[in-house]
Structure 1
Amino acid sequence: MTDDEARLAPLRVFDAVKALAFIGDLSMGQPTDHSPRTGWLAARLAQAAGLDAAVRDTVCETSLLRWSGCTANAAGFSDVFGDDIQSRVAMVEGRPGWAAPLEALGGVGTVLAPLAQIHCEVSGEVARMLGLASATETALRHIFETWDGNGLPEHRAGDAVPAAVFVVALAGDLEAFSRAYGIERALGLVAQLADARYPARLVAVAAREAAHWLDELQALPPAALDAALATPAMQHDTSAELIADVIDLKLPWMTGFSRTVAAAAAQGCARLIEDRAAHARVYRAGLIHGIGRAAVPNSVWNSNARLPESAWEKVRLVPYWTARAGRQAGALGEAAELASYAYERLDGSGYFRGARDAALTSEARVLAAAVAWVALRSARPWRAAMSAESAAQQLREEAANGRLCGEAVEALLAEGAIVKRPASVASQGARLSAREIEVLRAISRGASNKEAARELTLSPSTVRTHVESVFRKLECSTRAAATLKASSMGLL
């Protein structure tokens, strides 16, 4: 096995989907078993409603990936509500007045339609990249449509919307409402949405069975829940790169960050450790080390001021959530445990454990150094990217002060620290020009057309033409979906 083969060893689609469900639940401020529980309820609802086995598989997959577009529009929710996570909690739980801030901005439909479009495009693209059936992709691309036609983004109604969408929406409401308010009030809230969000016939089925289902679900062991959700299509192999790309969509200025960390860490590890299995673990850990970032509002990450202690507590829990994700995501468990050491330091000043010295393996040490190195070399809202020389100097100072491992730092900086990311297999359909790729890289990192024009010394109209061409070639209509596709092609 070559080094590249070791780093790119596949994992089961089901494990990747569970990791994406975990990220989605964090993004929505929900318990990290919300999506699996929704999937189980959706499967029972579909069966009780007389829907066939294919639809039951679709609702399982759709439930797990329903929030996979949440990182992609987190910036938009942050702009509108201030806190992208708490605003979603209020929305999911149907709290009174959750939409009040939207009235002055033109109303729910006007404000949320573009955010829904981003979400639907990205989640549908995720399903496609994972090789799931077209029925699941289609359901995800219409996940916010409603029975009465008042949904988003296309205002489809009735049978023009896949049946799986209504089943998943009702199951998700049952899970969230019953947890927040109890079963009786949950059924009352669901009844109010009959023939609006979903057809009344499904609500009638839920009214008869929901209490029994929730009791059964409460007693279900995790392994049994997994067995009920793992459809045949999710038994195939995939890779962890998609998880990294979905993580990075939360903050446009982090586009490509996780892939670059993974490549840098694997290269440093190869210079320090001969064991190829270690290279594979470090690479995968680098890809997923930012899972827990989804639990922290964008306003915290974008702040250029000193963070209050309350915000720092959320940041310190990022690696904790990454470790938790691994415990729920099968084959990713070992890599996630290693990934959760990405912010530890030899002197015990890191987080979340405050581990030190011998508690940090060589793999953990090189991963921590790689995260620090790539962060220093990357632009942030509050500072420009450091030069290679300045970043290397700071990394060596951290090692001299006992925070980072000197051997890991030197292994990372060897050969000029040129990070060679593994090449991806490009889509056969898209052939972007060099200028289109430059424009795409600029807008993928959050630049407006005018900002990209200044950066590339082009006119705004020329940038707009290139953006339209990129969207046409990549068959998408949002920057987030274009970024996701381009990342999978190795262009970003």
Structure 2
Amino acid sequence: MNGNSNAPGEERARVRVYDAVRALAFVGDLSMGQPTDHSLRTAWLAAHLAREADEGDGLIVTAAQTALLRWSGCTANASEFAEVLGDDVAGREAMLAQRQDWMQRIASQEVATTMRPLAQIHCDVSGEIARMLNLAPDTESALRHIFEVWDGNGMPDGLAGEAVPRGVYVVSLAGDLEIFSRVYGLPRALDLIAARAGTRYPADLAALVAARAAHWLALLETGELAGIDESIETAQMQATTSAELIGDVIDLKLPWMTGYSRAVARAASACSVALGADEASATRVYAAALIHGIGRAAVPNAIWNSPRRLSDAEWEKVRLVPYWTGRAGKQTGTLARAAELASYAYERLDGSGYFRGVGGQALSFDARVLSAAVAFVSLGQKRPWRDALSASEVAQTMRVEASEGRFDGEVVAALIDTRDVLPRGARLRPSTIRLTAREIDVLRSIGRGASNKEAARELDLSPSTVRTHVESVFRKLDCSTRAAATLKASALGLL
């Protein structure tokens, strides 16, 4: 993930891999409708089950890493889940809890036929994330097969028995134990697990869970989060990585937001430097901008994609986005300060913003820069409820907002002045992968949600030519889905 930096603050916006993983776990838990410590608790249980299985330290490492990143691919298929289930967040919560009515949301379609493409997207992206973070190869393999089951009826490849990575079974059991015991109580949880033994996971591991579950859950309830962290942070997760990956994964939830977090980060850090801020401030603003959308995962895609005025209940969910982002900071170590700043992304100088509704002196210089940059970049991009504004329209709108007291006038002026300093896709990374200009155009179009036919119309190409470019991109990037290709291309600075 190393490379040359073209944006102020970018080079130093680095965090421990473990903190990036924890942030992605937080996003995943929100996306799946789970408590925000679900993945952490699952990782702890998985590590204990792997240790009890006595199959070597490698399985313990794989289990902990896989459990934390198990839901890291779920932003990538949120759009597809929304089409199938309506509410992608509530629907996935019902699916994990195995509520009796959850499959009714799929209407008359077969579950396997409907869910396999979604599983493929999820597995492709989560596996790519593990590879980007340089985690254990067994972790990447487990994530690429995380929905496989013992009897071969899983996804995406229908592997069975010993062909399924052992870590998949460990994490699957730990996740079921965490969810079922919390939702239904331990006795019912053990009944559900016993019913799945020999079909979803091997009977020997299920027997270990039956024997040790009560003890593990009792220990888990007495443990502090910091103590849990220490027990599952592997050596590989003590390295550093860029916070950019977190922003890229967040943006996958809504295809029309592809590249948005990076664009806000570049604008905010450039503005910060233009106004005389030091490197520490530019770095802090850059990192906060990258992760300011963490809480977006808690809001169903149907709300984000709505072209109409939101209801009070829907708007309340949107207002909580920065609250959840701030909450993430309490669980992410070296990202804590950036997440706290990020939680001010939608505040306004006159107090009309959210979620705190504070203004004036309560907003630091960094908060003023960040909130203005978020609005500035957003106005220039198309949204389901409005078209993108031209550069002049964005500038005029922001100047009016500043004159009415919602943004800092100096900050707005600096954003306008530095707008063209950094070109799109400013960060270039050394790579042996080379995409042609047309391939990049096609990937950028489909990465924003366009079908092959829509991309063909947009780029004045034939659908068959677009298909050929897509196949070439997948081959060069070693990906099988559009979401994973977009994620990898963004990390390589190709978009």
TM range, smaller chain: over 0.9
Q: Does residue 366 of the first structure (1) align with residue 369 of the second (2)?
A: yes
Q: Cα–Cα, structure 1 residues 417 and 491, in superposed 2: closer, same or farther, change >3 Å?
A: same
Match of 1:425 among 401, 423, 429: 429
Match of 1:116 in 2: 119
Classify 1:416/1:15 alpha carbon distance in 2 versus 1 (closer, same or farther; 3 Å): closer
In structure 1, what is the equivalent of residue 245 of structure 2?
Answer: 242
Kindly provide the amino acid, as one letter, of the partner of residue 339 in structure 1: A
- Counterpart of 2:223, as a letter, is L
Kindly report which structure 2 residues correspond to 1:20-59, keeping only aligned pairs within 5 A, or say none: 20-59=24-63
Q: Which residue of 1 aligns with 2:355?
A: 352
1:100 Cα offset (Å): 1.9
Note the C-alpha offset of 1:262: 0.3
Q: Alpha carbon RMSD of aligned pairs, Å? A: 1.3
Determine which of 259, 269, 273 is the counterpart of 1:270.
273
Instruction: State the 1:56 CA deviation.
Output: 0.2
Output the CA distance in 1 between the equivalents of 2:6 and 2:458.
37
Name which of structure 1's ranges 169-178 and 45-54 shifts more when overlaid on structure 2: 45-54
Given the alignment, which residue of 183, 189, 192 partners 2:192?
189
User: Match for residue 466 of structure 1?
Assistant: 469
1:273-295 CA-to-partner distances (Å, cap 9, x unmatched) read 33110000000001000000000
Would the aligned equivalents of 2:8 and 2:266 in 1 still touch at CA under 8 Å? Answer: no
Partner in structure 2 of residue 437 of structure 1? 440
Say whether the 8 Å CA contact 1:424–1:488 is kept in structure 2. Answer: no
2:449 corresponds to which residue? 446
Equivalent in 277, 283, 287 of residue 286 of structure 2: 283
Partner residue in 1 for 2:400: 397
- 1:423: how far off? 1.3
The answer to whether 1:309 aligns with 2:312 is yes
How many pairs were matched up? 490
The secondary structure found in structure 2 opposite 1:131 is: coil
Change in Cα spacing, 1:287 to 1:415, as seen in structure 2 (3 Å) is closer
Question: 2 CA distance for matches of 1:330 and 1:457?
Answer: 48
Name the aligned partner's letter for residue 25 of structure 2: A
Q: Distance in 1 between matches of 2:333 and 2:447?
A: 31
CA distance in 2, matches of 1:382, 1:158: 48
Scaled by the length of structure 2, the TM-score of the pair is 0.97
Displacement of 1:6 in angstroms is: 4.0
1:349-399 CA-to-partner distances (Å, cap 9, x unmatched) read 100000110000111001111000110011112322110000110001100
- Whole-Å separation in 1 of the counterparts to 2:419 and 2:216: 59
Distance 2:95 2:224 in 1: 29
**What is the distance in 1 between the residues matched to 2:62 and 2:258?**
30
> How far 1:99 sits from its partner (Å)?
1.2
Residue-by-residue CA offset, 1:57-113 (whole Å, 9 max, x unaligned): 0000000000000000000000111100011000111111211232512x1100000
- CA gap of 1:423–1:3, structure 2 versus 1, over 3 A, is closer
Task: Show the counterpart of 2:93.
Answer: 89
Following the alignment from structure 1 to structure 2, what is the Cα–Cα distance between the partners of residues 32 and 283? Answer: 25
1: distance between equivalents of 2:261 and 2:309? 25
Q: For the structure 1 residues 416 and 255, does the alpha-carbon distance in structure 2 shift closer, same or farther, using more than 3 Å as the test? A: closer
Distance 1:231 1:276 in 2: 31
Instruction: Give 1:476 shift.
Output: 1.1
**Within 2, Cα distance between the matches of 1:458 and 1:205?**
58
Q: 1:426-449, CA deviations, whole angstroms, 9 ceiling, x for partnerless residues?
A: 432x21111111111110000011
2:208 to 205, 209, 218: 205
Q: Quick one: structure 1 residues 368 and 45, their matched pair in 2 at CA, closer, same or farther if it must change by over 3 Å?
A: same
Q: Which residue of 2 aligns with 1:177?
A: 180
* Distance in 1 between residues matched to 2:112 and 2:308, nearest whole Å: 34
| Deviation, structure 1 residue 416 | 4.7
- 1:479 — aligned with what? 482
CA contact (8 A) 1:260 1:419 kept: no
Task: Output one character per residue of 1:106-133: Cα deviation in whole Å (capped at 9) or x when no partner.
Answer: x110000000000000000000000111
> Contact 1:71 / 1:249 at 8 angstroms: preserved in 2?
yes
Q: Which runs of 5+ in 2 are unaligned?
A: none
Q: What's the offset of the Cα at 1:48?
A: 1.1
Residue 293 of structure 1 pairs with residue 296 of structure 2: yes
Distance in 1, matches of 2:368 and 2:420, equals: 16
Secondary structure at 2:50 match in 1: helix
Do the aligned residues in 2 keep the contact of 1:289 with 1:319 (CA within 8 Å)? yes
Which consecutive residues of structure 1, in runs of 5 or more, have no partner in the other structure?
none
CA contact (8 A) 1:365 1:408 kept: yes
Runs of 4+ in 1 over 3 A off after TM superposition: 1-6, 415-422
1:338 aligned residue = 341
CA distance in 1, matches of 2:276, 2:323: 26
Matches of 1:449 and 1:248 in 2, distance apart?
21
CA offset at residue 418 of structure 1? 4.3
The SS at the match of 1:11 is: strand
Identity level (%): 61
Structure 1 residue 3: Cα displacement:
8.2
Query: Match of 1:16?
Result: 20
Contact 1:443 1:479 in 2 (8 A): yes
Contact kept in structure 1, 2:7 and 2:266, CA below 8 Å = no
Asked if the contact 1:344–1:353 (Cα under 8 Å) also holds between the matched residues in 2, the reply is yes
What secondary structure does 2:373 align onto? helix
The amino acid that maps onto 1:318 is: V
Provide the C-alpha distance between the structure 1 equivalents of 2:25 and 2:352, rounded to a whole number of angstroms. 31
Contact 2:7/2:269, CA 8 A, preserved across alignment = no
Distance 2:277 2:171 in 1: 48
CA contact (8 A) 2:9 2:269 kept: no
Alignment of 1:489 onto 2:486: no
Match of 1:226 in 2: 229
TM-score, structure 1 normalization? 0.98
**Aligned residue in 1 for 2:383:** 380
Deviation at 1:414, TM superposition (A): 1.0
Structure 1 residues 64 and 206 mapped into 2: Cα distance closer, same or farther (>3 Å)?
same
The one-letter code sitting in structure 1 at the alignment partner of 2:295 is: G
- Say if 1:3 and 1:276, in contact at 8 Å, map to a contact too: no
Q: Could you tell me how far apart the structure 1 residues matched to 2:94 and 2:430 are?
A: 40
